[in-house]
Amino acid sequence: GNSVTQMEGPVTLSEEAFLTINCTYTATGYPSLFWYVQYPGEGLQLLLKATKADDKGSNKGFEATYRKETTSFHLEKGSVQVSDSAVYFCALSDHSSASKIIFGSGTRLSIRP
Amino acid sequence: GAVVSQHPSRVICKSGTSVKIECRSLDFQATTMFWYRQFPKQSLMLMATSNEGSKATYEQGVEKDKFLINHASLTLSTLTVTSAHPEDSSFYICSAVPTSGGFYEQYFGPGTRLTVT
């Protein structure tokens, strides 16, 4: 079945450091891929998405590229801020099941001032 | 923006009792809502799909008689954990899909922490 694997946390970085959170997926067909973010005390929010191979999703300085050849969707940001501290979830949606989302285990990111 | 609330945010109940968790879309209508369960340091596990006015669709392995879902209006879905046991202790999260929204729109509630003693 479909699944998402992402790097375990927690990840702790200093402000302005470069961030990469790895995510790989297993799916039949051509899923859509997502990164969700959960800030402390809040619900999950969609951070960015990509719906087909080679698409790049971007938002708030974060980027991720849909790589079909490596079945990956790694999240990157060039210079993190303290306000980026949150839990990040990689996810996919199988188009055969409208709106159903399969999540990775989440990666907690902490940024030091 | 679209807001989804859950009530209560935390609940402690005794083994054998039932607990109801509410999920509300505050500023939009949602024909479809999802219920997830999250164990510590694990991913969100989809439990069921709730459609307004019809029976919920449960994922494989989820006991429908234990986790009762009612979606009686376009802004409210409830999850009732019946005869709760300590193993039901978990973090329950709902999400709502706007009726008028696009395929990928889905808004999440902040979650409910259930502890069964």
Question: Residue B14 carries which DSSP code?
Answer: -
Q: What pLDDT, on the 0 to 100 scale, is given for residue A53? A: 93
Note whether B6 and B23 are within 8 A (CB).
Answer: yes
Which pLDDT does position B77 carry in this prediction? 95
> CA-CA distances (angstroms) from residue A70 to A67, A88, B27, B55, B72?
6, 21, 40, 39, 44
Joined together, the tokens standing for residue A93 give 């949606």
Six token digits for residue A87: 């839990």
β-sheet bridge partners, residue B35:
B48, B94
- Does the pLDDT value for residue A49 go beyond 90? yes
On chain B, the residues whose CB falls within 8 A of the CB of A99 are 32, 34, 97, 103-104, 106
Please give the DSSP secondary-structure letter assigned to residue A97: S
Q: In angstroms, what separates the C-alpha of A31 from chain B's closest C-alpha? A: 12
Question: What pLDDT is attached to residue B101?
Answer: 66
Q: Taking residues B59-78, report their average pLDDT.
A: 93
Pairing of the two strands B90-98 and A56-59:
unpaired
Task: Check whether A34 has a pLDDT greater than 70.
Answer: yes
